[in-house]
Amino acid sequence: MIFWGGTFIAGRILSRHLPPFSAGFLRYVIASLILLGLVLRASGASNRIKKFQILPLLILGLTGIFAYSFFFFKGLQTVEAGTASVIIATNPIFIAIFSAIIFRERLNFIQIIGVLISVCGAMLVITGGHILHIFHIQSETGILFIFLCVVNWVIYTLVGKRVLRGLSPLASVTYASFVGGFALGIAAVNEGIVHIIPGLAVQDWLCLLYLGIFGTVLGFVWYNEGVFHIGPTRASQFINLIPVASILLGFFLLDETISAPLILGSVLVVGGVFITNRYHREQKYV
């Protein structure tokens, strides 16, 4: 989640210089090459695609990679990284609800309280203690794009649970990245990516490398590992740590101030995650 927290900073910088499809395509070119090397090195039965996994993998690529990437960079053109991260922090609510509906995961009262506490903590951190300020949105269109990130990530997580039956987390991320990256490439050509690449600055390439390596290869693989071992609801709770990670990175890298609301919000986020996981009935997800 620390790596994903940094993606909002890198994405915000890139969104000022690159159109969304081009930014997404370059990110996944970098990620896909690394992922392919890892899959080839770890060849085995768990990396081979079965017939019933083809459609789910296409869905993963078109939602969690293609659509999410477009909405992410498009939204960050007008929405501040902090505001975007608090919207993304609502992911666990929707994942928990739909996991209960689709997979019949049971959520008891204490777990629901834990989810609400962690989300409130994330909002407190982002708004600096003035939670109602979250409703003062500068750009309704940008907010809609970020919310569509949530929609696509919920689909990616829930479908990913199905794909991970018999397919390793590394393989599922790799194949989904190829599907999404191919779709992004087609759209990027229409944006004129061939003429855009020569004008990219060193800072842009560093952001792309960060997004490709840390935000995608490590972030996605480890997240899918979590879904595989503890299920989508519990794994998604750690998404609430993203806003906290973003602000802490801002403190160390940008000399931003750590305030009392940030400390309190961090405690609430971590506490809510702990409560939700502490009182979760263990289930097997293989």
Show the CA angle centred on residue 165, arms to residues 161 and 171, nearest 5°. Answer: 85
Taking 50 as the threshold, does the pLDDT of residue 283 lie above it? no
The answer to whether position 284 is within a domain reads: no
Total residue length of the chain: 286
Residue 175's contacts (CB-CB under 8 Å, 6 or more residues apart) are 49, 57, 60, 61
- 56: containing domain: 2-278
Angstrom distance (rounded) from CA 227 to CA 20: 28
The answer to whether position 214 is within a domain reads: yes
Tell me: the pLDDT tens digits for 167-205? 887 888 899 999 999 999 999 999 999 999 999 999 999
Phi first, then psi: what are they for 243, rounded to 5°? -60, -40
- Which pLDDT does position 44 carry in this prediction? 67
Taking 90 as the threshold, does the pLDDT of residue 145 lie above it? yes
The answer to whether position 149 is within a domain reads: yes
User: Among 136-140, 221-225, 233-237, which is the least confidently predicted range?
Assistant: 136-140
Q: Are 176 and 59 in contact (CB under 8 A)?
A: no
- Which pLDDT does position 286 carry in this prediction? 34
Taking 50 as the threshold, does the pLDDT of residue 282 lie above it? no
- Which pLDDT does position 224 carry in this prediction? 67
Q: Are 126 and 248 in contact (CB under 8 A)?
A: no
Compute the average pLDDT of residues 133-148.
72
**156 is written with which tokens?**
């990616």
The answer to whether position 174 is within a domain reads: yes
Q: Which residue has the higher pLDDT, 231 or 135?
A: 231
Q: Are 93 and 182 in contact (CB under 8 A)?
A: no
The answer to whether position 167 is within a domain reads: yes
The answer to whether position 28 is within a domain reads: yes
The answer to whether position 272 is within a domain reads: yes
Taking 90 as the threshold, does the pLDDT of residue 131 lie above it? no
Closest CA to 266 of 247, 244, 235, 249: 244
pTM, full prediction = 0.82
The answer to whether position 286 is within a domain reads: no
Tell me: the pLDDT tens digits for 35-90? 999 888 876 656 788 888 899 999 999 999 999 999 999 999 988 777 788 788 77
Map tokens 């689709």 to a residue. 102
Tell me: the pLDDT tens digits for 230-280? 776 666 666 667 787 777 776 787 566 677 887 888 788 778 877 876 665
Q: Are 150 and 93 in contact (CB under 8 A)?
A: no
When divided into structural domains, the chain yields a total of: 1
Compute the average pLDDT of residues 135-145.
69
